[in-house]
């Protein structure tokens, strides 16, 4: 009887241990599952190598900021970030805007979380303006049109 109870206990304990919900347990992954108790390797992270695009449009006091040859709009991108990176940690990618455009195309991205910091030159005040925003790319092949409000 004692052996039977021990065996039954082992079977029940093993069943409970194996019944943990599997999924991605990392909140920095686009595939994060808050109900998952055991990581199954399904996490997906932002970065280069995909087919998604972020089109970051710079806006300063309701005015679009256009890239010029002398002052190209610039996007600094931090992969797998929901907030501005800490000082000294740097960015993973820098992209220059095309002359005459009011946005910067950040191409070739995988689904994931990004912090996009932009700077441009407001000719009406002859001053550099900058600002940043968190951007989520939820699927491969997606184009995300994102307004980035910039200030002095």
Which residue range is the domain that position 79 belongs to?
Answer: 48-149
Per the structure block, which two tokens stand in for 37? Answer: 């108790």
Q: Are residues 142 and 92 in the same domain?
A: yes
- Tell me: do 95 and 134 sit in the same domain: yes
At residue 32, does pLDDT exceed 90? yes
Q: Look at residue 86 in the predicted model and tell me its pLDDT.
A: 85
Q: Could you tell me the sign of the dihedral formed by the alpha carbons of 115, 116, 117, 122, in that order?
A: negative
- pTM of the prediction? 0.85
pLDDT of 98 reads: 98
Domain match, 71 and 143 both: yes
Contact between residue 32 and residue 43 where contact means Cβ atoms under 8 Å apart: yes
Residue 9 has pLDDT above 70, yes or no: no
Same domain, yes or no: 78 and 130: yes
Residue 7 pLDDT greater than 70, yes or no:
no
């Amino acid at each position: 009887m004692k052996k039977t109870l021990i065996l039954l206990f082992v079977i029940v304990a093993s069943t409970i241990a194996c019944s943990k919900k599997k999924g991605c347990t990392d909140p920095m992954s686009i595939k994060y599952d808050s109900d998952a108790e055991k990581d199954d390797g399904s996490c997906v992270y932002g970065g280069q190598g995909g087919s998604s695009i972020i089109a970051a449009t710079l806006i300063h006091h309701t005015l679009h900021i256009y890239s010029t040859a002398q002052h190209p709009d610039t996007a600094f991108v931090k992969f797998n970030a929901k907030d501005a990176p800490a000082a000294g940690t740097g960015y993973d990618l820098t992209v220059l805007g095309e002359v005459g455009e009011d946005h910067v195309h950040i191409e070739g991205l995988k689904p994931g979380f990004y912090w996009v910091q932009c700077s441009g030159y407001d000719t009406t005040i002859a001053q550099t303006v900058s600002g940043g925003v968190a951007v989520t790319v939820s699927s491969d092949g997606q184009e995300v049109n994102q307004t980035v409000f910039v200030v002095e």
